[in-house]
Structure 1
Amino acid sequence: MAKYSGAQWHPITVNYTRSGQREVRGVVIHIMAGTLAGTDSWFRNPRAKASSHFGTGKNGAVYQWVDTADRAWAQAGGNSSWLSIENEGKGGDKLSENQLTRCAEILAWAHRKYGVPLTVATSPTGRGLGWHGMGGKAWGSHPDCPGPRIVAQLPTIVQRARALVDVKPKPPATQYAPFPGDRFFRSSPRSELVTAMGRRLVAEGCGRYVEGPGPQWTDADRKSYAAWQRKRGFVGSDADGWPGRTTWDALKVPKP
């Protein structure tokens, strides 16, 4: 069983597939074109042939109709791999502040339970927070569900969900300076690359650090580099104090 504790449990006995959820790629936002109470009644009618895992009211109420281990009938070809949230309102509406918060709470729960990424999805092959219309014909051809005003609110839902789980964006990957070539340091250059290299040698416990851009490569720097090469176990021509491609790649000098 997979019930969300933040919802009122309103189980239905028809219009869903037991144990039919193959995977959880994300959560899909829908609009009811009606009220929470009316949708609750409709999902219990066998003629509806429709359901949703969750539903929100404009006042902040949350219903769960279908266990997330089961397949709700909300977005046709996406039913087996996406959870669904129906939202009280009609086409052209925006979600209320209460609904934005409730959807964010459900998304945060899906992130914790199923690893759903806290990002906006744009197609059925993606993952995260999606919307009914993105599935096109395979999802029943509903381009206006939930409508452009609500689609524009999806980043707000994601932002609120991130705050709930305290997800911090990953820092950008360090960009390392490419090897400048065998002759570069033999010309005793003045370069910011020398500054960046000096910082790395100091961080590695070897060498001296000269503050300021563009110090000149000197014999002292060469001795520091040789000490680092030996410390890292390089021998022969790879421990002569001159940067070569192998030792340069091992030092990992950030781009200045």
Structure 2
Amino acid sequence: MPGAIWRPIPVNYNSGGISPRIVVVHLMAGTLTGTDSWFRQSRARASSHFGTGKGGTLYQWVDTRDRAWAQAGGNPYCISIENEGTTNDRLSDNQLDRCAEILAWAHRVHGIALQRADSATGHGLGHHGMGGSAWGGHTSCPGPRIVAQLDEIVARARSIANESAPSFSGGGDTGAPAFPLPTGWYFGPRSGPTASVSGYHGHRDDLRHWQSRMRERGWPLAADGRYGPRTRGVARAFQAEKRLGVDGLIGSATWRAAWESPIT
């Protein structure tokens, strides 16, 4: 990331294997210098993509194309930020700026939504504790005082990205979560560009997210994370209603419309 001091570590990460959709805020319970030293030791079995100091120093330890070891089961879809401080601290104004810059950059590079994520199935900016046991059971990290600052980070990131908080008329909802598949891919039958991912367990939660949103809009659809005849039928009918290309495939336009188009 431009502006970050590149401090690559030789251990404690996996090359590749990440599709980011959440930026996760952590608390070091220590110093930036100490954390930098710790991540370089094999016995640490831990790392983070980024780290901020109270004075505004920003380190990057792991490329965001690679998995940092910061939140266990969340590592395949999370970009992590460790922040200098101790229990019950708040982030300094400098740290808020650095976290906002990371979120705005991740939005531009990885399509991560400029919004709060409040669970492991969400999209946007979240915190370590929200992942519960699946993310290592660190439910007190980064602490309530920092969690209360997350909305401020999102607001600053939107300002950096020159984007206002989304607003839609006619019964629509707030902005859509970032589409979870690469450009040009879609949820659909096991053919075409989705052959390697359609029905793949790692994407079921994402398809379930779209199905749940469609249920909220009044469509008769089970949120089971499976692309079957019912899901295809609802997708086709929805596409026809919104004057999208009618093919029953859930690509980025059909995904966004589930949140952003008016509910009629």
- Residue 127 of structure 2 aligns to which amino acid in structure 1? W
1:93-152 alpha-carbon deviations (Å, 9 max, x no partner)? 000000000000000000001111111100000000000000000000011100000000
2:153 alignment partner, SS class: helix
The separation in 2 between residues aligned to 1:172 and 1:74, in whole angstroms, is: 36
The separation in 1 between residues aligned to 2:85 and 2:167, in whole angstroms, is: 39
- Structure 1 runs not aligned, ≥5 long: 176-256
Q: 1:158 aligns with which of 154, 158, 174?
A: 154
CA contact (8 A) 1:7 1:62 kept: yes
Give the alignment's TM-score, normalised by structure 2. Answer: 0.64
Q: 1:7 aligns with which of 4, 7, 16?
A: 4
1:79 alignment partner, SS class: helix
Q: 1:16 aligns with which of 13, 17, 20?
A: 13
1:1-56 alpha-carbon deviations (Å, 9 max, x no partner)? xxx012000000000001131x1111000000100000000000000000000000
The separation in 1 between residues aligned to 2:82 and 2:166, in whole angstroms, is: 32
The separation in 2 between residues aligned to 1:148 and 1:38, in whole angstroms, is: 24
2:23 alignment partner, SS class: strand
Please list, as runs of the form range in 1=range in 2, the aligned pairs for 1:180-195 lying within 5 A after superposition.
none
Equivalent in the alignment of 1:239:
none
Q: Indicate whether 1:126 and 2:128 are aligned.
A: no
The separation in 1 between residues aligned to 2:167 and 2:6, in whole angstroms, is: 40
Q: 1:93 aligns with which of 85, 89, 98?
A: 89
Give the alignment's TM-score, normalised by structure 1. Answer: 0.66
The separation in 2 between residues aligned to 1:170 and 1:44, in whole angstroms, is: 41
Equivalent in the alignment of 1:135:
131
Using the TM superposition, give the Cα deviation of residue 169 of structure 1 relative to its aligned residue in structure 2, in angstroms.
3.0
The separation in 1 between residues aligned to 2:141 and 2:168, in whole angstroms, is: 35
The runs of at least 4 aligned residues of structure 1 exceeding 4 Å deviation read: none
Q: Indicate whether 1:114 and 2:114 are aligned.
A: no
The separation in 1 between residues aligned to 2:79 and 2:33, in whole angstroms, is: 20
CA contact (8 A) 1:91 1:144 kept: no
Q: Indicate whether 1:43 and 2:42 are aligned.
A: no
Q: 1:68 aligns with which of 64, 70, 74?
A: 64
TM-align CA RMSD: 0.9
- Structure 2 runs not aligned, ≥5 long: 172-264
1:54-74 alpha-carbon deviations (Å, 9 max, x no partner)? 000000000000001110000
- Residue 5 of structure 1 aligns to which amino acid in structure 2? P
